[in-house]
Amino acid sequence: MSSVASRLKSRGTASPAFLLAVFLVILVAATVYVFVARLYPAPPPISRDAVLVDRQYDLTLWVAGAAFVLAQLGLAWAVFRYRDCGQQASHIRGNVALEILWTFVTLLAFVGLGILGRNAWAGARFTPSAPDAIQIEVTTNQFVYTFRYPGPDGKFGRLDPSLVSAPTGNPLGIDANDPAGKDDIVVSELTVPVNRPVELLLRSQDVVHNFFVRELRLQQDAVPGMLIPVNFTAERIGTYEIVCTQLCGLGHYKMNGLLHVVPQSDYAAFLKREALVQ
């Protein structure tokens, strides 16, 4: 150890400076590579709102990425260029014009990003559901998703917590005396028709859960005591995984479901089939 140390010392401060600079360059190269090569990408988006999210993400990646590259390489250059080689340091106390400039540029860049990001958020959250949106209630509990369709009458039956009994086939606690609930369809997998607006009504029976579908770029907590609507229109047929992202207990990691996006005809058939089974 000591002979290595003394050899390092004899090269002055070149060694740590050089090592730092090289390391930072490798860091930048590796990071840029992983992003550019899309080694671990998110799955392709399947809705218009998801595409808007991706666009905003890409824009942010350009801005943040440029800042990252410039700052890390700037650091690398500075530590190498100004390593102690016997020079005198310059007694610079600051530079007001420069300080004002970079404050302003940063403000524009960051706040600009924030303002531009409004649209992707507004599209998903500020617009109410379309009048012909299919309403599906999503109930979460430890540790399953249960989906309820209102049936032909378009109305959900009344729920009563004291009637909840999963073993006897009433996991949601539907009040049998409520006529609106007689045609409700309760299933454990979510099926929706492609290219039709869907409004999910998220609720929870016990603790805070979450509904997340990567391909929709859609995530929302399900909070007990609240009924939270989220809207989407899926534009690609397929089966997608639903996961819970809000820590909900020991089964959190196993709480997942499936979203089936099917052709309209399949959806009609699904409703008819399930109505018989309920």
Partner 1 sequence: MSSNPQVADSVTHAPNSLLRRYVFSTDHKIIGLQYFFLALAAVTIGVILSLLMRFHLVWPAAHLPFIAGGIMTPEQYLALVTMHGTIMVFFVLTTAPQSAFGNYFLPLQIGAPDMAFPRLNMFSFWLTFLAFVVMLSAFFVPGGAPISGWTAYPPLSGLGEVTGPGEGIGQSLWVASILIFCVASLLGSINFLSTTIDMRAPGMTLTRMPLTVWAWFVTAILSLLAFSVLFAGGILLVLDRVAATSFFLPAGLVVSGEVQTHGGGSPLLWQHLFWFFGHPEVYIAILPGMGVVSHILANFSRKPVFGYRAMAFALCAIGFLGFLVWGHHMFVSGMNPYSGLTFSLLTVSIGVPSAVKTFHWLGTLWGAKIQFHSPMLFAIGFVSFFVTGGLSGIFLAQPAIDTELHATYYVVGHFHIVMGVAAIFGIFAATYYWFPKMFGRRMNESLGKFHFWLTFAGVYCIFMPMHFVGIAGGIRRYADATGATYLAALQPLHQFMTIAAFVTAAAQLIFFYNFFRSLKKGEAASANPWNATTLEWITASPPPSDNFGGRFPRVHRGPYEYSVPGATQDFLPQHLAPEALGSANKEPNNAN
Of residues 120-149, those binding partner 1 (CB under 8 A): 120-122, 124-126, 141-142
Among the listed residues 7, 11, 22, 23, the single contact to partner 1 using CB under 8 A: 23
Q: Output 63 or 237, the one with its CB closest to partner 1.
A: 63
In whole angstroms, give the CA distance from residue 227 to residue 138: 9
Number of residues that bind partner 1 (CB under 8 A): 109
Give the angle subtended at the CA of 95 by the CAs of 91 and 96, to the nearest 5°.
145
Q: Output 30 or 130, the one with its CB closest to partner 1.
A: 30
Residue 84, exposed/middle/buried by CB under 10 A (0-12, 13-18, 19+)?
Answer: exposed
Using CB under 8 A as the binding rule, whether residue 51 contacts partner 1 is answered as no
Residues 153 and 183: beta-carbon distance below 8 Å? yes
Using CB under 8 A as the binding rule, whether residue 254 contacts partner 1 is answered as yes
Using CB under 8 A as the binding rule, whether residue 78 contacts partner 1 is answered as yes
Q: Output 120 or 267, the one with its CB closest to partner 1.
A: 120
Residues in region 150-209 near partner 1 by CB under 8 A: 161-162, 164-166, 173, 205-208
Using CB under 8 A as the binding rule, whether residue 83 contacts partner 1 is answered as yes
Residues 192 and 184: beta-carbon distance below 8 Å? no
In whole angstroms, give the CA distance from residue 98 to residue 276: 73
Q: Which of 42, 50, 43 is nearest to 217 (CA)?
A: 50
Using CB under 8 A as the binding rule, whether residue 88 contacts partner 1 is answered as yes
Which residues fall within 8 angstroms of residue 148, CB to CB, at 6 or more apart? Answer: 136, 137, 139, 156, 172, 184, 185, 186
Backbone angles phi, psi at 150, to 5 degrees: -75, -15
Backbone angles phi, psi at 231, to 5 degrees: -115, 145
Using CB under 8 A as the binding rule, whether residue 22 contacts partner 1 is answered as no
Using CB under 8 A as the binding rule, whether residue 33 contacts partner 1 is answered as no
Among the listed residues 22, 29, 36, 107, the single contact to partner 1 using CB under 8 A: 107
Tell me the closest approach of the beta carbon of residue 262 to partner 1, in angstroms: 19
Residues in region 206-225 near partner 1 by CB under 8 A: 206-208, 210, 212, 214, 217-221, 223-225
Q: Output 110 or 153, the one with its CB closest to partner 1.
A: 110
Q: Output 13 or 195, the one with its CB closest to partner 1.
A: 13
Tell me the closest approach of the beta carbon of residue 254 to partner 1, in angstroms: 5
DSSP for residue 159: B
Backbone angles phi, psi at 221, to 5 degrees: -70, 145
Tell me the closest approach of the beta carbon of residue 275 to partner 1, in angstroms: 26
